[in-house]
Amino acid sequence: MERSTVALILLYISAVSVSSGQPVLLDSAEGETVTFHTAVRNMQILLYNGDVIGDVTDGKVKPTRIERFKGRVHWNSSTEFFSITDLKMDDSGKYKAQSDDGRAVSEFQLTVHTPVSKPDVLQEEDHCTLRCSVERGTGVTLSWRRVDGQVLNRPSPKNAPVSQLVTVTEGTYICEAKNPVSTERDSITMGKDCKSEFFTLH
């Protein structure tokens, strides 16, 4: 096989390997900034769900025609990475950074989350059943453990609003609420006969 043919085949394989991989999964919080780190430099176009929202010409990003991205799409001339500031929940979706000739492509799947609120820990009527819930957050899991680290239940499915625990001995119990961008905790100390004193762990 001629050397020129081998070179063309290798170039084709290289282009395919850059563009056909699984998208990079990104999690970020509302109001924060996400940066699209790419293995290949000189990425000059950024697309969101197929629409161009970033186009670099002469080292500057052209204003996007998509109203909600205006003023929030940036390109760093030193790193050659795109970023989006002041993230909104509806910024979640598929992004693609590519070179202007389309040969080098990096794909991303971004999920924007609402940070979890501090959990509420309450006693049920029987005084020995504890209830933990959160008012705010996306993709939230709830779990219980003792202050000594002993896990008392499996984490709840994502977005489950309530986690329960029956306690029969005195001690301190911690409810943890978390999602990919934040973690909050609250705790309760149970005395004899399931009497309680609330306090917050920092």
Per-residue pLDDT of the chain (202 residues; tens, 9 = 90+): 444 333 333 333 333 334 447 899 999 999 999 999 988 777 899 999 999 999 998 888 888 889 999 999 999 988 889 999 999 999 999 999 998 887 889 999 999 999 999 998 888 776 678 888 888 888 888 888 888 888 877 666 665 555 666 565 678 889 999 999 999 999 888 777 666 554 444 3
Label residue 10 left, alpha or beta by phi (over 0 means left) and psi (-120 to 50 means alpha): alpha
Same domain, 7 and 106: yes
- CATH classification at residue 148: 2.60.40.10
Q: Is 201 within the bounds of a domain?
A: no
Q: Is 202 within the bounds of a domain?
A: no
pLDDT at 147: 87
Same domain, 54 and 72: yes
pLDDT at 63: 84
Same domain, 144 and 178: yes
Same domain, 96 and 16: yes
- Which of 93, 113, 133 delimits the end of a domain? 113
For residues 166 and 5, what is the distance between their CA atoms, to the nearest angstrom? 71
- Which of 113, 134, 151 delimits the end of a domain? 113
For residues 128 and 167, what is the distance between their CA atoms, to the nearest angstrom? 5
Same domain, 105 and 144: no
Range of the domain at 192: 120-196
Label residue 68 left, alpha or beta by phi (over 0 means left) and psi (-120 to 50 means alpha): alpha
pLDDT at 71: 93
pLDDT at 171: 82
For residues 88 and 73, what is the distance between their CA atoms, to the nearest angstrom? 13
Same domain, 90 and 28: yes
For residues 96 and 149, what is the distance between their CA atoms, to the nearest angstrom? 42
Same domain, 7 and 40: yes
Same domain, 92 and 129: no
Total domains present in the chain: 2
Same domain, 56 and 156: no
Same domain, 165 and 99: no
For residues 131 and 135, what is the distance between their CA atoms, to the nearest angstrom? 13
pLDDT at 7: 35
Same domain, 105 and 132: no
pLDDT at 159: 57
Same domain, 87 and 28: yes
